[in-house]
Amino acid sequence: MKMDRTVEHAYKRACFQGRSVLARWLDRVFFSVLGALSLFILSREKILSGALLFVLLILFVLWDKKRWNIFKKRLWQCTAESMKREEWLQAEAERIRKEGGTVLYPTPNREELMGLCLRLGEGTAFHGFGAPQTNLIAQAAALGCSLAFHPWGKGAEPSRELVLERIRRDAPKGERLAWRRLIRLPASRYLLTGCLLLLLSICLRRALYWRLLGSLCLLIGGVRWSFQRIVET
């Protein structure tokens, strides 16, 4: 699936929890270095630690690539399914109206249905979609109307060009200011890593190094979490 560069960047931010390319690389490098430092603290082997650094970095890159490919596949499938349902819904609604029925979409709640029944009067035939809701059917009958639910169907398979156009049209709008995207980055991975390192410091040698690494992770996670709370309020 070929996307425009701006559209692809917008969906990648959605796929990676709002992280930009720079933020993803910072995360990869940080955790790769963290893994290499952990091995060095345990073994004091510079060569092995350096090799682990590059292996972890490659694994992170491959994992993100796989995650992005899965996201694209699901995005395409969901968009195509949505378009097929929309086509079917439009044709079904047109058929119902020609037969004198009234289409209810989306399905109203009890108060909204009561208002429709009182406004349109007795004998009105309502038609909804999805699983039958017996309480709404009973309420419509009590007010002299009828309500039937139609199971969902699917229209024809949309063309590749139409699906791509819909994906471009529905691309999420990102923040224009880079600093806003930066402070909204998720802090959970840093907080969890920091807690894990502090726990490991209890049972591993050279506890001071583990506590320093854990404190660094908690500091980064805490700063991110604080900025997130400030922006949200």
Query: Do the bridges between strand 146-150 and strand 125-129 make them parallel or antiparallel, or are there none, so unpaired?
Result: parallel
Q: Which residues contact 150 (CB under 8 A, 6 or more apart)?
A: 92, 127, 128, 129
Q: What's the whole-number mean pLDDT along residues 204-214?
A: 83
Rounded Cα distance, 23 and 120, in Å: 56
Q: What's the whole-number mean pLDDT along residues 194-202?
A: 85
Q: What's the whole-number mean pLDDT along residues 163-174?
A: 86
Q: Report pLDDT digits (tens) over 19-76.
A: 778 878 888 998 898 989 888 888 888 899 999 999 999 999 999 999 999 999 999 9
pLDDT of residue 179: 46
pLDDT of residue 231: 53
pLDDT of residue 174: 59
Report the range of poorest mean pLDDT among 35-44, 82-91, 123-132, 134-143. Answer: 35-44
Tokens read off for 193 = 């890593």
Query: Are the C-beta atoms of residues 47 and 26 closer than 8 Å to each other?
Result: no
Q: Which residue in this structure is represented by tokens 């490919």? A: 69
pTM, full prediction? 0.71
Burial class from Cβ neighbours inside 10 Å (0-12, 13-18, 19+) for residue 104 reads: buried
Measuring CA to CA, how many Å separate 114 from each of 99, 129, 146? 23, 18, 12
Is the pLDDT score of 232 beyond 60? no
Q: Which residue in this structure is represented by tokens 């802090």? A: 187
Rounded Cα distance, 10 and 19, in Å: 10
Is the pLDDT score of 184 beyond 70? no
Report the share of the chain in percent with pLDDT over 70: 91
pLDDT of residue 177: 43
